[in-house]
Structure 1
Amino acid sequence: MKIANIEAFWLRCPIPKEKQHTSDYGLLTNFDMTLVVVTTDTGLQGFGEAKAAVGSSGSCASIVSCIENEIKPALIGQEAGHINKIWEMVYNGTRDHYALDRGRKFPILGRRGLTISALSGVDTALWDIKGKQLGVPVIDLLGGACRTEMPAYASGGWAGAEQIGEQLLSYTAKGFKGVKMRVGVMDKTVKESIKRVKAAREALGDDILLMTDAHGTFNVPEAKKFCRGVEDCDLYWLEEPISPDNKVGTAEVRASTSIPIAAGESEYTSFDIREMTDLRAIDVVQPDSAIIGGITEANRVAALANAHQIELAPHCWGSAFSFMAGVNVAFSAPSAVVIEFSSGGNPMMYDLVNEKIEAVNGNILAPTAPGLGLSPNWDFVNEFKQKIN
């Protein structure tokens, strides 16, 4: 079964005004993603997602160009089931034969950034194809589920100190036993971030997991100050306290507090994650399958998490395709215990696919449908795909 075609579509869908929110990224009025479609010579299709930005809004034109003009010509005619080989081909480029012969990497210059994001979408689509070909969910290809269900945490939390409790309680009313809120530069001051977290904990009580996400916007002193200010709030983790460019600084923040530190959504490949574990910078690792290098590389990160005895919590803020990629990796990993569930305006999660994605009483059930178990709503795709000059 050989690869006959690879297509990439930049989708941009408006977020209904009542579901829009403002964060450090500004007012988010649209949701963007790159839908990747791999078609085999048997007609079987697989689907994946590649991201141009960790947040929900960003131009995907460069990713579409990379997939169609660089990756596609190299992969047409390759065996669709040779996923590991294909990953090495894209990562090592014209020197891939050396890499496979010598057993080590000879990477291209673009071994970080958009090339790996583009590869992520193709890789995920190939796993989807293999699962469909064999009639099993991707999780079975990864060794099977470690659990039958997993608690989900509702990811949102942008309201001010006076409304944050009400906003988070609207999530727990749906059955979620954990919630995540945003903090950092969007609050203008560290003091205001502390105030919002204290208000959130007071409203939630002691039995709900509370995570915070700074989107990498504190500096090291600010992150330390924030941690001191919320030490008594029993945070499950503080996510991306400072810029992902400053891994040493992240390690410094972690060493200063008892609050677990989470990061990884902005990282490319397991090599970036290995640097973080070597620096003892994180307690929780959060690979995004649409950024890290697809399911292949997310699974390698899961192995790192297991070896370093840290928690795996895939970043699942994206379309239904990257969400289910993260879910399959998480369920197969012994070190994953909670999964992210988007609570913002996200048409790519609910309108892009024909299947219904939901949390049942705050839990996600282990996948059972072949591949990723998703099919695109082509009417939606055709309505929101962008023309690229």
Structure 2
Amino acid sequence: MAKSLATARQTTIVVVETRSGVTGIGEAWGMPAVNQAYLPLLASYLEGSDLADVELVFSRILARHYHFGVQNQMMACISGIDIAAKDALGKEIGLPVCRLIGGRGSEHVPVYASGGYITEDNARDFTPQLEAIAAGKHRAVKIKIGLGPASDLARVREARHVLGEDIDLMVDINSNYSLDLAKHTLAALAPHRIGWVEEPLAPQDIAGYEVLQRCSPVPVATGEALYTVHDFQRLLERRAVDVVQPDLSLCGGFWQGRRIADLAELHHVRLSPHVWGSGIGLAAAAHYVASRSPSPQAQDAPWPTLVEYDVGANPLREQLFKQPLVAKDGLLPVPPGPGLGIELDWSAVEKYALR
């Protein structure tokens, strides 16, 4: 991304086990060592609780430890535990998670291909990435920009050249710009029919987002670095965004994810969950989107709710499952089995586990 180059991925797998032997799996964003440090504290509240009561326990934890705040790794841990608890509960009663949290509105959810990454050699690497995306027949695509207005325009022009004019094209700045720079680059990009600009500003700059949303010729999206419905409330009550992007692995799992989606619906703002980790988070996002109607639309949604589908090489998505989740022609199947409907290959987990 524009802020830095990454050489590895990491995330934390969470396992919940019931006394009857049912297990559920979830994903907590962030470094496993930091997440594990919170385990004794959280376990002291959760062990012995009923699966259906975990949200009450989470509320108790936050009330008791209010000095911790919510923008921290503890909330990521709670997120992973919540996803795992919903997976286990679904398995216990024989229902997919989407039906536990709202219903099964579809057998497939639309995705956008997240790619076009910034590399050490953009001149060599960018076009082949776009060509691979085109070969995948994706209907919506997001590329990385944020290296300056001239670079942004060149990357968007190349994306349009390779992908065509019919593709919905989004761009992601990863909060690398100040307000004036964001205004400048969006004015240049607007003629290329950009679906949204993601994280043009720092996540904490709510006032800046409010100003930008008022003047931007491109819809503004953000939310992957926000925690709980309270962060999103500050953004939405000022009408500072057009698309909210909660990440279930850090925002508070389905517990807070449902509240965020309800809040967005009340403000008539679009939803599109961020996914950047393992296939567990992808499965959770698929159930999340399948459980909701694309309000205010009924059956015909001009811009459907999209799940982020990273097309970069990612063994944590491609190799951890016995049957990986794979998008085809812009659609991702919602796993039909109980819980999340996924099964980990524990030998693959062992292969990639940190030592």
Contact map agreement 2:172 2:197 (CA 8 A) in 1: yes
Distance 2:168 2:123 in 1: 18
* Cα deviations by residue, 1:302-351 (Å, 9 ceiling, x for unpaired): 11121111111000121111111111111112235222111112111111
* Cα deviations by residue, 1:231-284 (Å, 9 ceiling, x for unpaired): 101011000001001111112111111210000000000110111101211110
Alignment of 1:297-336 (within 5 A): 297-335=256-294
- Please state whether the residue corresponding to 1:50 is helix, strand or coil: strand
The partner residue of 2:35 within 53, 63, 75 is 63
The partner residue of 1:173 within 113, 135, 160 is 135
Distance 1:60 1:223 in 2: 34
Aligned: 1:246 with 2:205: yes
The partner residue of 1:372 within 340, 344, 353 is 340
- Please state whether the residue corresponding to 1:262 is helix, strand or coil: strand
Q: CA deviation at 1:197?
A: 1.1
Distance 1:353 1:198 in 2: 37
Paired residue type of 1:346: N
Paired residue type of 1:174: G
Aligned to 1:18: none
Q: CA deviation at 1:29?
A: 2.3
* Cα deviations by residue, 1:197-244 (Å, 9 ceiling, x for unpaired): 122123322210101001111110110011001010101100000100
Aligned: 1:156 with 2:127: no
Aligned sequence identity (%): 31
The partner residue of 1:72 within 35, 40, 43 is 43
Distance 2:211 2:125 in 1: 32
- Please state whether the residue corresponding to 1:271 is helix, strand or coil: helix
Contact map agreement 2:283 2:325 (CA 8 A) in 1: no
Contact map agreement 1:242 1:249 (CA 8 A) in 2: yes
Q: CA deviation at 1:165?
A: 4.4
> What 5-or-longer segments of structure 1 have no aligned partner?
1-22, 53-58, 95-106
Paired residue type of 1:88: S
- Please state whether the residue corresponding to 1:171 is helix, strand or coil: helix
The partner residue of 1:141 within 85, 100, 104 is 100
Aligned to 1:349: 317
Q: CA deviation at 1:367?
A: 3.2
Aligned: 1:277 with 2:225: no
Aligned to 1:42: 20
Would you say how many aligned residue pairs link Structure 1 and Structure 2?
Answer: 343
- Please state whether the residue corresponding to 1:28 is helix, strand or coil: coil
Q: CA deviation at 1:169?
A: 3.1
| TM-aligned CA distance change 1:175 to 1:298, over 3 Å | same
Aligned to 1:92: 63
Aligned: 1:24 with 2:16: no
Contact map agreement 2:109 2:286 (CA 8 A) in 1: no
Distance 2:125 2:165 in 1: 19
TM-score (norm 2): 0.92
* Cα deviations by residue, 1:73-121 (Å, 9 ceiling, x for unpaired): 2211111221321221232236xxxxxxxxxxxx342322111111001
Distance 1:149 1:374 in 2: 15
> What 5-or-longer segments of structure 2 have no aligned partner?
295-303
Paired residue type of 1:356: P
| TM-aligned CA distance change 1:221 to 1:264, over 3 Å | same
Distance 1:347 1:24 in 2: 23
The partner residue of 2:145 within 171, 180, 183 is 183
* Cα deviations by residue, 1:128-153 (Å, 9 ceiling, x for unpaired): 01111111110011221233333211
Aligned to 2:297: none
TM-score (norm 1): 0.84
Distance 1:26 1:216 in 2: 12
Aligned to 1:101: none
Contact map agreement 2:325 2:333 (CA 8 A) in 1: no
Aligned to 2:71: 112
Q: CA deviation at 1:166?
A: 4.2
* Greater shift in the superposed pair: 346-355 or 218-227: 346-355
Alignment of 1:186-205 (within 5 A): 187=147, 189-205=148-164
Paired residue type of 1:229: A
- Please state whether the residue corresponding to 1:170 is helix, strand or coil: helix
Aligned: 1:217 with 2:176: yes
Aligned to 1:131: 90
Structure 1 residue runs of 4+, over 4 Å off?
A: none
- Please state whether the residue corresponding to 2:41 is helix, strand or coil: helix
- Please state whether the residue corresponding to 2:286 is helix, strand or coil: helix
Aligned to 2:300: none
Distance 2:215 2:111 in 1: 29
- Please state whether the residue corresponding to 2:106 is helix, strand or coil: coil
Q: CA deviation at 1:175?
A: 1.9
Q: CA deviation at 1:161?
A: 6.2
